[in-house]
Amino acid sequence: MIPLFTAQPSGKNMEDATSSNPQSLGFTDKLKSWLSWSWTYICAVWFAMVLTMIYVLRSPLKLQDTLTSASVFLNTLTPKFYVALTGTSSLISGLILIFEWWYFRKYGTSFIEQVSVSHLRPLLGGVESSTTTGLFSSVNGEAEPRPSVSECKVWRNPLNLFRGAEYSRYTWVTGKEPLTYYDMNLSAQDHQTFFTGDTQQLKLEDTVMQKAWRERNPQARIRAAYQAIEMNHECAAAYVLLAEEEATTITEAERLFKQALRSGKLIYQQTGKDINLLVYIKRRLAMCARKLGRIKEAVKMMRDLMKEFPLLGMLNIHENLLEALLELQAYADVQAVLAKYDDISLPKSATICYTSALLKARAVSDKFSPEAASRRGLSTAEMNAVEAIHRAVEFNPHVPKYLLEMKSLILPPEHILKRGDSEAVAYAFFHLQHWKRAEGALNLLHCTWEGTFRIIPYPLEKGHLFYPYPGCTETADRELLPSFHEVSVYPKKELPFFILFTAGLCSFTAMLAMLTHQFPELMGVFAKAVIFHRTPPCQRSGLGEQELPSRECRGSALG
């Protein structure tokens, strides 16, 4: 595992390290740079030596006789040979094209280019970037160094669904698995560290539950949970697992979470531990109340939870609160929550950015008209709404297609990647109804969201309001989202060169094969003319000047 931050030596140690042997370090650097510089010319020198050897040994190797024999052999080929040749070339290039296209659709890159970069670039003197700092663009456009923190950190989805009551029901109806193994494995790791991290010495039932979270088979996890309950009837983690995976309705899940809350409170009062488990249970109970229509009760539970545990802001409970307040249409309370969490020093999310845009769009969207705006210009409120939409789209450009129903929605994963397609799916799944409720908001979004891409510098080496869009989101989203979902990619990747090349080669050779099959004699004459376009007719036919007294033959004989 790569550490996020590395310890720096003190001033004196650093001075000693750099001044201990400067001559040896300088000689090593010079040697490396010289080898890297000279490597680029080795191929040219080798090619020149090969040409020189061929020229010197042209007489012993009898190159002229060899070329004449090859010309005679090619002259005797029938049109069937050319049909077979072009047909085979077309078949091979077509297979390469199909494989390249499949690889590009699955992994987002060309297989040939990837192999070339991975294996040929080091041989040609290419050096991979291994620096621990990168250049990031600040808001004013200047480049500034930052620590190499992973841009593609995966976060727990604050609004993740219940496996037994929601994800499993989807599987029963459609026969498709909405969760990937990678996503469920991350959840198992979260539960192991989140629910047993405070206990120094694990109890027997905690050990059983740790093994239960690691089980891949859902039935095995449920059996392990019942085993832990038999060992200790107050095992709160076991009730949590049953509520998440065995309960087939939200009502049943809420009943099990209440049992887990009673057990968790008892353990917390006795030992003062398992705070994480208690917070998780209360949060899921609030989500159960929200799903069952008791929205005001859910809002109260979320507010109490945020007041009781203010240091657990990393759980993003405020995003659950924002969604519930939007359902109540308590827009003033939503604005108050945004004023607290939409701060430049706090990490952003699609929920914060797009909710802020929704509130500003709602104030002007009911009377907004593109034609009227183009005639009179945008008012101050409309300009603020458009700027908020541009800000949200720059943070996550995948969301508008789901809100405008240009892409089909799926069930959100249990983990999301900020600024990625997984976050867009999770946001649109829960907030599309709120955008539809605001009259004209989706129309305003439809008219303005694409204007964001004219503001963002291209290529995306600099950002406008945020740091440049990370290039690793596609790979992580493909791991988090199911295979039947078409992952949204930004920026849209152009087709690799080798796909275009193999497509052209396949089409060209297929056309040659078809023409050769239909017109064998004409294509045979054309092929011979192309092959022997520099050879005089007297040499091609093996005749002397007397038998074919053309001007070209006489010129060649005199020469």
pLDDT at 547 over 50: no
Higher pLDDT, 107 or 340: 340
What is the per-residue pLDDT for 521? Answer: 73
pLDDT at 545 over 90: no
What is the per-residue pLDDT for 20? Answer: 42
Residue 507's pLDDT band (cuts 50, 70, 90): confident
Tell me what the pLDDT averaged over the chain comes to: 76
Residue 320's pLDDT band (cuts 50, 70, 90): very high
Where do the H-state alpha helices sit in 245-379? 250-271, 275-291, 295-308, 317-328, 331-341, 350-362, 370-376
What is the per-residue pLDDT for 539? Answer: 46
Higher pLDDT, 462 or 386: 386
Higher pLDDT, 508 or 331: 331
What is the per-residue pLDDT for 283? Answer: 92
Report for 78-87, 365-374, 466-475: range of highest mean pLDDT: 365-374
Cβ proximity of 162 and 411 under 8 Å: no
Query: Residue 237 belongs to what H/E stretch?
Result: helix 236-241
Higher pLDDT, 65 or 325: 325
Higher pLDDT, 4 or 452: 452
pLDDT at 443 over 70: yes
Q: Which has the closest alpha carbon to 403: 393, 413, 394, 391?
A: 393
Range with the poorest average pLDDT among 348-357, 457-466, 467-476, 532-541: 532-541
- The two three-digit tokens of residue 527, written as one number: 């092929």
What is the per-residue pLDDT for 143? Answer: 37
What is the per-residue pLDDT for 465? Answer: 64
- The two three-digit tokens of residue 484, written as one number: 């039947």
pLDDT at 428 over 90: yes
How far is Cα 97 from Cα 100, in angstroms, rounded to an integer?
Answer: 5
Report for 87-96, 185-194, 199-208: range of highest mean pLDDT: 185-194
203-256 pLDDT per residue, tens: 788 888 888 888 888 899 999 999 989 988 888 888 999 999 999 999 999 999
Q: What mean pLDDT is predicted for residues 395-413? A: 91
What is the per-residue pLDDT for 358? Answer: 93
What is the per-residue pLDDT for 473? Answer: 81
Residue 365's pLDDT band (cuts 50, 70, 90): confident
Range with the poorest average pLDDT among 34-48, 280-294, 332-346, 363-377: 34-48
Cβ proximity of 469 and 413 under 8 Å: no
What is the per-residue pLDDT for 25? Answer: 45
pLDDT at 541 over 50: no
| b/e code 221-243 from CB counts within 10 Å (16+ = b) | bbebbebbbeebebbbbbbbbbb
pLDDT at 487 over 80: yes
Polymer length of the chain = 559
Cβ proximity of 194 and 277 under 8 Å: yes
- The two three-digit tokens of residue 444, written as one number: 């305003």
Range with the poorest average pLDDT among 4-18, 52-66, 278-292, 545-559: 4-18
pTM as predicted: 0.65
Q: What is the DSSP letter of 417?
A: E
32-59 pLDDT per residue, tens: 666 666 655 676 777 788 788 777 776 6
pLDDT at 17 over 90: no
pLDDT at 494 over 80: no
Range with the poorest average pLDDT among 208-212, 334-338, 470-474: 470-474
Residue 101's pLDDT band (cuts 50, 70, 90): confident
- The two three-digit tokens of residue 338, written as one number: 């945004």
Q: What is the DSSP letter of 396?
A: -
Residue 73's pLDDT band (cuts 50, 70, 90): low
Q: What mean pLDDT is predicted for residues 377-389? A: 87
Q: Let me know the angle formed at the C-alpha of 270 by 265 and 271, rounded to the nearest 5 degrees.
A: 100
User: Three-class SS of residue 247?
Assistant: coil
Q: What is the percent of the chain where pLDDT is above 70? A: 68
Q: What mean pLDDT is predicted for residues 528-535? A: 60
Range with the poorest average pLDDT among 210-219, 260-269, 387-396: 260-269
Q: What is the DSSP letter of 531?
A: H
What is the per-residue pLDDT for 63? Answer: 67
What is the per-residue pLDDT for 294? Answer: 93
How far is Cα 400 from Cα 31, in angstroms, rounded to an integer?
Answer: 53
How far is Cα 325 from Cα 348, in angstroms, rounded to an integer?
Answer: 19
What is the per-residue pLDDT for 434? Answer: 94
Higher pLDDT, 156 or 53: 156
Q: Which has the closest alpha carbon to 452: 394, 404, 406?
A: 394
Based on the number of CB atoms within 10 Å of its own CB, is 524 exposed (0-12), middle (13-18) or buried (19 or more)? middle
pLDDT at 126 over 50: no
How far is Cα 502 from Cα 513, in angstroms, rounded to an integer?
Answer: 16
Cβ proximity of 182 and 264 under 8 Å: no
Q: Which has the closest alpha carbon to 183: 478, 521, 552, 549?
A: 478
Range with the poorest average pLDDT among 151-155, 324-328, 355-359, 542-546: 542-546
Q: What mean pLDDT is predicted for residues 146-164? A: 73
What is the per-residue pLDDT for 309? Answer: 83
Q: What mean pLDDT is predicted for residues 123-131? A: 45
- Between helix 350-362 and helix 317-328 the angle, nearest 10°, is 20
Higher pLDDT, 86 or 159: 159
Q: What mean pLDDT is predicted for residues 258-282? A: 80
Gyration radius of the chain over CA positions: 34
